Amino acid sequence: MSAQLLDGRALAKQLREGLKKDFAALRGYAGLLPTLAVLRVGDDDASAGYARAIQKSCDSVGVEFHAVELPYAVQQEEVEETLADLNSSPSIHGIMILEPIPAHIALAALIDRINPAKDVDGVHPINAGRLAADRQPYFVPATPAGGIRLLEAAGVDFKGREAVVVGRSDIVGKPMALLLLHRHCTVTLAHSRTVDLPAVCRRADILCLAVGRPELVRADWVKPGAVVVDFGTTYTEAGLKGDCDQAGVAEQASLLTPVPGGTGPMTNVMLMENLLRAAERAASS
Ligand code: NAP
């Protein structure tokens, strides 16, 4: 068997075309310039790279990117004041805080202070709670939203199927498990303390990997014909690697998201979709 590879680049391109039109229409009828504020503290290379990628996404769909950069030595109170200004500004529709931030800044306290209506990253407890309770409207974190969208576009049937998600972060694994649960999968959420992870993975009709350990999952961990979603993105000397042995798993799975070119390109386009929703709600309120 050789798995069909789910082309995240192609789907992201198609979605971007639609978003470009929707943002232009919103600007036309509401006279509003959709704007995403991206808050960074310090000058970490990874967050700088992520900010550039987000700016490119904003440019590609015709929305404003508003960079807010605070120095490393800034104090908690000042970051909270900056956030309060973004929360109340009518010209800002979405807010993201990029990680990592310096250790002396309490990230959880900042997240709790984001206006939930502008929380396009889906990290505020109200949005996380609404997702857990399956109560609209809420913002779903962009990475798992993109993974689900890829599966839906491929016509994957979720109902009653065994899903295993490896990794339980608030931003990828946990929301992915909830999205699968709401689609009526029987879900197992595995993590670093899971006993006999290979056996747990082998149960999965739908196996989702959000670990950050390159090639952790081998072909013999995968049930023949399973659908495999690989969120892993680790830069190694041999290039960008996912969480599974892509070549081996492709021989075992029926559908597989490639790394690179699978879930990665979907993330920023899903962020833009959340921003569209936030700006539409602002326009109608
Ligand atoms: P994270 O916060 O570090 O979480 C990693 C999870 O993996 C944790 O729940 C951890 O378990 C679990 N884990 C670690 N080692 C394990 C092992 N040996 N066996 C089983 N579980 C193990 O990472 P994240 O932010 O969710 O990111 C996960 C991966 O997705 C990374 O490669 C990241 O780069 C990638 N990512 C991709 C995108 C995209 O656009 N495709 C976006 C965001 C992240 P414990 O909870 O027990 O510690």
Atom of ligand 1 nearest to the CA of 231: 41
Q: How far is the CA of 241 from the centre of ligand 1 (A)?
A: 13
Q: How far is the CA of 126 from the centre of ligand 1 (A)?
A: 23
How many angstroms from the chain centroid is the CA of residue 266? 8
At 137 the pLDDT is: 85
Provide residues with CB under 6 Å of ligand 1: 143, 166-169, 171-173, 190-194, 197, 210-213, 216, 231-234, 263-264, 267
Atom of ligand 1 nearest to the CA of 173: 26
At 55 the pLDDT is: 98
Atom of ligand 1 nearest to the CA of 168: 9
Strands across the sheet with 186-190, in order?
4-5, 255-256, 227-230, 206-209, 162-166, 186-190
Q: How far is the CA of 71 from the centre of ligand 1 (A)?
A: 28
> Which residue has the CA at smallest separation from atom 41 of ligand 1?
264
Q: Where are the alpha helices (DSSP H) in the chain?
A: 8-30, 45-61, 76-88, 107-113, 125-132, 142-153, 173-182, 197-202, 246-250, 263-284
Residue 209, helix vs strand vs coil:
strand
Q: pLDDT 10s digit of each residue in the chain, 285 long? A: 699 999 999 999 999 999 999 999 999 999 999 999 999 999 999 999 999 999 999 999 999 999 999 999 999 999 999 999 999 999 999 999 999 999 999 999 999 999 999 999 999 999 999 999 999 989 999 999 999 999 999 999 999 999 999 999 999 999 999 999 999 999 999 999 999 999 999 999 999 999 999 999 999 999 999 999 999 999 999 999 999 999 999 999 999 999 999 999 999 999 999 999 999 999 998
Atom of ligand 1 nearest to the CA of 191: 21
Please work out, in degrees rounded to the nearest 5, the angle formed at the alpha carbon of residue 233 by the alpha carbons of 160 and 79.
Answer: 100
Q: Which of 2.30.130.40, 3.40.50.10860, 3.90.1010.20, 1.25.40.10 would CATH assign to domain 28-115?
A: 3.40.50.10860
Instruction: Please give the structure tokens belonging to residue 214.
Output: 């390159």
CA-nearest of 183, 166, 280 to 230 is 166
Sequence spans of domains, the chain = 28-115, 142-265
Report the chain's terminal Cα–Cα distance, integer Å: 52
Decide whether 28-115 matches 142-265 in CATH topology: yes
At 233 the pLDDT is: 95
If one residue of 47, 54, 178, 192 were mutated to test the ligand 1 pocket, choosing by the most ligand atoms within 8 A of its CB, it would be 192
For the domain 142-265, what is the CATH code? 3.40.50.720
Mode of pairing for the β-strands spanning 64-70 and 162-166: unpaired
